[in-house]
Each structure stands twice: as C-alpha cells, then as structure tokens.
C-alpha cells in the first residue's frame, strides 16, 4: 500500500493532467496507442487483481449489509445522475451517451487509494470495488442500454463480451497469479499500482488526443455536467451512508466510492463500440475525479474526525 499511496498522492493527479494537456497540444504522441487501449485497460484490471488481499476481502464480505447498500447505490445513483445531467444540459447524443457510460461503470481502483489517504475503511472500499467490478459485465451494458438507448443503438452483447475479456478475465488472472506466486509476489504487488495508473493515464490521454479537433468547439455544458455528476456523487454517497446509519468511516468511504467512477472502463467501451467523441466525457471525468479525489478526501477526513468525536459508539 505504501508504494501505491506514494505514487498516487505525489504523481498521478499532476501526471494525468499533464498527459491530457500534452495530448491536446501534441495529439500524435498518444494517437500511437490506438491499437492497444483495450490491452492497456486489461493490464489495469490485472493489477487490481494482484493487489487484492483475499483475507481482508473475505472478512469484509462477512458483513453483507454495507456491501449491498454500497453496490446498490453505485449502480443506481451514478447512472441516474449521469442520465439526468446529460438530459438537462441538452448534450449531443454522442456526448450524452458518454456521460451515461461513465455513470454506469463500477468504482475505480483509485478510489481505494483516496479512501486510504482520507483515513476511511480501506477493506470496505476494496470490497465495494471488487463486487461492483464482478457485476459490471451484466449491469453496465444493461444500464447503458436502458438509459442511453434513446440516444444511440446500444450493442448489449458485444459490450458484455468486452467487459468479460478486459475486466473480469484479467482481474481473476491477477488474483490467480498472486495466489500462485505466494510470498514471491511481493515485487509484482509493489509494481502493479504503478502499472494500473499509467495504463489509465495513457488511455485517457489517447481519448483526449482523438478528440483534439472536437475539444476546440465543445460546449462548456459538458464540463459543467462532469463537475456536477462528480460532486453530486460524493454528496449522495455520504447522504445514503448516513441514512443507512453507517459510522463516519464507512460514510466517508461510500462517498468516495460513489463519486469516483472507473472512467477508464467508460473510455475503453466508448472507443471500442462507439466513437472517439463518446469517449471524451470519460476522459474528462477521469482527469477531474483524480484531481477532486484528494481535495474531497481531505474535507471528508475532517468531517470523519469531528463525527467520531460526537458519535464514538456509533456502529455500521
């Protein structure tokens, strides 16, 4: 966890922003990655499988109520927020669908790091990300079809196949490799977070590069939508956790989990099954949520500390 913490806290946010800017001004640098974006995303999911700690995950899953509430919130709040924001803003079909795809994605690996930085419930965060990811082959294309079918035809089965091949299979492979290597897996575990982070950064930078010409004429409404969905995700996550009587640590964790989406998956699905323009909201969301995650974690950590003083006996 130390290497993951150091890389993300010191480098991922500025590196994501830097690569996005480079991709905008010098798109050819990242356009060379076009044939490899699915492989890059698969590498990020393999890395997630490698860093998962089975014992910690098993312990957390023994209390299913928080997991159920969290996953249900993940696959209801963000899809509805994305669809509503795109409709209110009157986005063009390709951009509206891109926002919806991001909303229908599971939680991101980066959220586990932000939870750690904020002093939240890391095991709960990892469990939510893992369960939501395992459910994504069925739920993500289904929700995209239900909420985005009015904009463009949705290839449900091809999307499911893509998620199975680039999300579930590498995730399971990563878990298997960690188990097979045993104590010898330590170097791989230390390197995996960096590999995952770089893969997502390159994917998002490619999406920016592929939309170089469109970005010059894009409406500010898309940026407003991205900012709003991210912020409301944090707020609704906190509110639902409070309503469910979670303790302050779990409230903090659920807020971060809901607000931060696996935008890399959204970008990969959009590039594979739709157009580069559809991938643009995912790329912008990835950059934005990484930047806001650190700030949100600091604010939530302060609330977490104050509520723990007020409610020391509260339980999940």
Full set of structural domains in the chain with CATH:
2-310 (1.20.1530.20)
pLDDT at 299: 66
pLDDT at 283: 84
Which residue(s) pair with 261 in the sheet?
A: 107
**Phi, psi of 266, deg, nearest 5:** -60, -40
The answer to whether the CB of 129 falls within 8 A of the CB of 111 is yes
Which tokens belong to 120? 């939240």
- From the list 64, 71, 9, 82, the residue with the least C-alpha distance to 257 is 71
The answer to whether the CB of 23 falls within 8 A of the CB of 206 is yes
Give the integer Cα–Cα distance in Å for 86 and 95: 8
pLDDT at 47: 85
pLDDT at 305: 61
Give the integer Cα–Cα distance in Å for 45 and 137: 13
Give the integer Cα–Cα distance in Å for 57 and 225: 34
Q: What is the DSSP string of 171-229?
A: HHHHHHHHHHHGGGGHHHHHHHHHHHHHHHHHHHHHHHHHTHHHHTT--HHHHHHHHHH
> How far does Cα 77 stand from its chain's mean position?
14
The answer to whether the CB of 114 falls within 8 A of the CB of 4 is no
- 307, containing H or E segment: helix 276-310
Tell me the pLDDT of the chain (316 aa) as tens digits: 455 445 554 566 678 788 889 998 999 999 999 888 889 888 888 988 887 777 766 777 788 889 999 999 999 999 999 999 999 999 999 999 999 999 999 887 778 777 776 777 878 888 898 889 889 999 999 999 999 988 888 888 898 898 888 888 988 899 899 989 888 888 888 788 778 778 878 887 888 888 888 777 777 899 999 999 999 999 999 999 999 999 988 998 899 899 888 888 888 899 889 988 898 898 889 888 877 876 666 665 566 566 665 554 444 5
pLDDT at 313: 43
Which residue(s) pair with 107 in the sheet?
A: 261
């Amino acid at each position: 966890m130390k290497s993951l913490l150091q890389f993300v806290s010191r480098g991922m946010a500025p590196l994501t922003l830097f690569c996005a800017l480079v991709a905008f001004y010098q798109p050819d640098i990242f356009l060379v990655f076009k044939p490899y974006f699915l492989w890059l995303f698969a590498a990020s999911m393999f890395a997630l499988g490698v860093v998962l700690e089975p014992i910690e995950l098993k312990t957390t899953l023994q209390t299913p109520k928080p997991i159920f509430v969290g996953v249900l919130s993940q696959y209801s709040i963000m899809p509805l927020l994305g669809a509503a924001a795109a409709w209110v803003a009157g986005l063009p079909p390709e951009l509206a669908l891109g926002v919806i795809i991001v909303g229908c994605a599971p939680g991101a690996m980066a959220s586990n790091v932000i939870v750690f930085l904020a002093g939240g419930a890391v095991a709960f965060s990892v469990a939510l990300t893992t369960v939501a990811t395992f459910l994504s082959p069925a739920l993500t294309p289904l929700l995209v079809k239900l909420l985005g079918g009015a904009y463009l035809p949705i290839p449900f089965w091809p999307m499911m196949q893509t998620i199975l091949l680039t999300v579930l299979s590498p995730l399971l492979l990563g878990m298997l490799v960690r188990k097979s290597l045993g104590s010898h897996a330590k170097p791989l575990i230390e390197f995996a977070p960096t590999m995952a982070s770089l893969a997502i950064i390159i994917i998002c930078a490619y999406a920016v590069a592929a939309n170089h010409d469109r970005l010059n004429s894009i409406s500010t409404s898309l940026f407003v939508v991205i900012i709003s969905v991210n912020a409301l995700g944090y707020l609704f996550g906190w509110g639902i956790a409070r309503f469910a009587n979670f303790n302050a640590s779990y409230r903090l964790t659920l807020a971060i989990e809901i607000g931060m989406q696996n935008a890399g998956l959204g970008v990969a699905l959009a590039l594979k099954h739709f157009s580069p323009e559809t991938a643009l909201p995912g790329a912008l969301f990835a950059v934005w949520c990484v930047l806001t995650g650190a700030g949100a974690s600091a604010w939530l950590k302060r609330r977490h500390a104050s509520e723990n003083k007020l409610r020391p006996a509260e339980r999940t």
